[in-house]
């Protein structure tokens, strides 16, 4: 079944408290060399049938209006994975 993957990230200018906490924990576990971490969301939309332009448009609309809040988040990618 084809899948549309939507990636949502906190806007660069918005402080990301979760990413900051993860970033601070990395060196404590011995993972060195990472300057910072930002944490986002990945949605997988399983498609019934083929991924038509219409389906893709619907996924993009859903990403912009529901899966993300444009005040605090950006949709960074909407891609089809088979």
Partner 1 sequence: MARIGVVTFPGSLDDRDAARAVRLADGEAVNLFHTDADLQGVDAVVLPGGFSYGDYLRAGAISRFSPIMERVVDAARGGMPVLGICNGFQVLTEVHLLPGSMIKNEHLHFVCRDQVLRVENASTAWTGDYEAGQEITIPLKNQDGQYVADERTLDELEGEGLVTFRYVGWNPNGSRRDIAGITNGRGNVVGLMPHPEHAVEPGFGPDSRLNGRRGTDGLAFFTSAIRELVTTG
Instruction: Provide the binding-site residues for partner 1, judged by CB under 8 A.
Output: 10, 13-15, 17-18, 21, 66-67, 69, 71-72
Considering beta carbons, is residue 14 or 76 the nearer one to partner 1? 14
CB of 50 to partner 1, least distance (A): 27
CA distance 63 to 47: 15
Considering beta carbons, is residue 17 or 27 the nearer one to partner 1? 17
CB of 45 to partner 1, least distance (A): 14
CB of 78 to partner 1, least distance (A): 17
Listed in sequence order, the residues at least 6 apart from 6 whose beta carbon sits closer than 8 Å to its beta carbon are 42, 43, 45, 59, 62, 63, 67, 75, 77, 78
Residue (of 39, 40, 33) closest to 21 by Cα position = 39
Instruction: Answer for the pair 67, 9: CB distance below 8 angstroms, yes or no.
Output: no
Considering beta carbons, is residue 18 or 36 the nearer one to partner 1? 18
């Amino acid at each position: 079944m084809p899948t549309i993957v939507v990636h949502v990230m906190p806007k660069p200018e918005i402080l990301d408290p979760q990413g900051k906490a993860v970033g601070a924990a990395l060196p404590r576990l011995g993972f060195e060399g990472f300057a910072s971490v930002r944490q986002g969301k990945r949605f997988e939309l399983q498609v019934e049938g083929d991924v038509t332009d219409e389906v893709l448009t619907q996924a993009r609309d859903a990403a912009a209006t529901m899966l993300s809040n444009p005040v605090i988040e950006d949709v960074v990618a909407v891609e089809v994975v088979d």
